[in-house]
A and B are shown apart, each in its own frame.
Chain A
Amino acid sequence: MAPPIRRLVLDVMKPHEPDILEFSRAVADSEGVDGANVALIETDRVVQNLKLTIEGGDIDATAVEEDIAGLGGTVHSIDEVVCGDRLIDQQDTPQDH
């Protein structure tokens, strides 16, 4: 069995409507998602760019992407994936300084 996805960080573009509140609630309600953090990165005349961080026991990435598409949004890129039995954070290395 494939290790479960526990965290996803997505770059998402969406129309102004539905608003970020409704969008967050819908994403948090997706399959395998326990919670969502949605941050507004940029707002344009017609669209908004969001950084979407979601965590859960076993996130269904396809279902999340479908739910985002159902709300009128598109996933531009998957910027971070954490999977396995534990949540592992990115570690700093000397090269990062």
Chain B
Amino acid sequence: MTSLRTLIADEDVRSISRRYFISNGFDGTLTSIGIVVGAYLSGVTDGFTVFTIGLGAAVGLGTSGVWSVWEIERAEKQAELLRIERAMLTDLQDTSLQQRREGARKVNAVASGIGPLIGIILPLLPFLAHDVLFSLLEATVVAVGIGVTVLFTFGAYLGSISKQNWIVAGIRMGLAGVVVAVLNLFLPG
């Protein structure tokens, strides 16, 4: 079996994992912002309730992230192997090539699942301090702030690896969090 270190050193594995991680992390963070603002506007009175609702979303999006990528990458990597097999005129099952794809698929799926967990759970944390540190309104504002910061971090990271201005790239991503929060204010419910 290809070692984890070898897999992570592979730029292709890193690149695909990064896409899933950021894409699903982005989904998760915006979902979390939507949940906290929606919960506050709906009149939920208990911070822990908001946290547990959010956890439900984390379980859903986390499972979706792992499961969908597991299946997507099964098909993509198998198709890629078939292309090479056609060129090589040989069966490549049980070769290091196939095992490496199998390992890469696991790394991709885990990265895809971790993204939404981080994106959802971090903004929910202020609700655990409801009645201790924050009122519900304060917890909601801090949660939106954390969400925007997580999005900014995703954007800044993407900016840094692509030699863009990381601050601008971070702001572009972070802006999405503000938009979702504002949209929730004006939408019914």
A74 interfacial contact with B, CB 8 Å: yes
Most B CB atoms within 10 A — which of A18, A47, A72?
Answer: A72
Residues on B with beta carbons closer than 8 Å to the beta carbon of A44: 87
Q: Interface digits, B72-98 against A, CB 8 Å rule (1 contact, 0 not)? A: 000000000001100111101011111
> A42 CB to closest chain B CB, in angstroms?
13
List A3-41 residues whose CB lies under 8 Å from chain B: 13-15, 17-18
Quick check: is A88 within 8 A (CB to CB) of the other chain?
no
Provide the residues of chain A in CB contact with B100, threshold 8 Å: 17-18
CA distance A69 to B90 in the complex (A): 10
Q: Tell whether A72 pairs with B83 under 8 Å between CB atoms, given A13-B88, A15-B88, A47-B88.
A: no
A17 to B2, CA, bound (A): 13
**Within 8 Å CB of A71, what residues of B?**
95-97
Contact assessment for A72 and B97 in the assembled complex, using a CB-CB cutoff below 8 Å: yes
Closest residue of chain B to A14, judged by CB?
Answer: B88
Chain A residues positioned under 8 Å from B98 (CB to CB)? 72
Q: Does A46 contact B (CB under 8 A)?
A: yes
Q: State how many residues of chain B have any CB contact under 8 Å with chain A.
A: 13
Chain B residues within 8 Å of A70, by CB: 94-96
Q: For this complex, into which size category does the number of interface residues on chain A fall? A: 10 to 19
Least Cβ–Cβ distance between A47 and chain B, in angstroms = 5
Which of B87, B90, B95, B96 sits near A46, CB closer than 8 Å? B87
Determine whether the beta carbon of B87 is less than 8 Å from that of A72: no
Q: Which A residues between 49 and 73 are near B, CB-CB below 8 angstroms?
A: 69-72
The chain A residue sitting closest to B86, CB to CB, is: A46
In angstroms, Cα B7 to Cα A18, docked, is 12
Q: How many angstroms from the CA of A46 to the CA of B98 in the assembled complex?
A: 15
Q: Kindly identify, within residues 53 to 87 of chain B, every residue whose CB is under 8 Å from any CB belonging to chain A.
A: 83-84, 87
In the complex, residue of chain B having the shortest beta-carbon distance to the beta carbon of A72? B97
Give which listed residue, A13, A45, A72, contacts B95 with CB less than 8 A. A72
- B residues touching A (Cβ–Cβ < 8 Å)? 83-84, 87-90, 92, 94-98, 100
Q: Which 8 residue pairs spanning A and B have beta carbons closest together?
A: A72-B97, A46-B87, A72-B95, A15-B84, A47-B87, A74-B90, A71-B96, A72-B92
Q: List 15 A-B contacts (CB under 8 A).
A: A13-B88, A14-B88, A17-B100, A18-B97, A46-B84, A47-B84, A47-B88, A70-B95, A71-B95, A71-B96, A72-B84, A72-B92, A72-B96, A74-B89, A74-B90
Apart from A13-B88, A72-B96, list 11 A-B contacts with CB within 8 A.
A14-B88, A15-B87, A17-B97, A17-B100, A18-B96, A44-B87, A46-B83, A47-B84, A71-B97, A72-B84, A74-B88
